[in-house]
Amino acid sequence: MKLKEGVITNEMDGQVMAVDAGNGTSRFNGLIRMNQSAGFVAGLLKRETTLDAIVDEMTKKYDVTADVARENARKVIEAFESAGLLE
C-alpha cells in the first residue's frame, strides 16, 4: 500500500497535513490533520510498504509496543483509505 500520486504532506507548527493535489480531488476535497506520529506513518506511506513494516519502523522511532504501534498505524491507514488516498 502507498499514498496515491498527488497526495502532498507538509508539516506546519508541529502538525502534519495531507491534501490531494492529484486526480483524486473529486472524491476527497479536504485536508487531513495529523499529529507527529501519524505524520510519520504518512511519510512511510509515500512509498510502497506494509503494515508490518510500518509497525517495525514505529517501534524503532517511538517507545511503544508493537501492539500499540499497529493500532495507531491502522487508524492512520483507515483515515487515508476512507478518504480514497491509498493505492
The residues spanned by each domain of the chain are 7-82
* pLDDT tens per residue across span 71-83: 999 999 999 998 8
Residue 26 has pLDDT above 60, yes or no: no
Q: Mean pLDDT throughout 19-48?
A: 81
Q: Mean pLDDT throughout 23-49?
A: 83
Q: Work out the percent of the chain whose per-residue pLDDT is above 90.
A: 54
By 3-state DSSP, what share of the chain in percent is helix, strand and coil, each rounded to 5?
45, 20, 35
* pLDDT tens per residue across span 51-67: 999 999 999 999 999 99
Residue 70 has pLDDT above 90, yes or no: yes
The three grid cell numbers given for residue 19, joined into one nine-digit string: 491534501
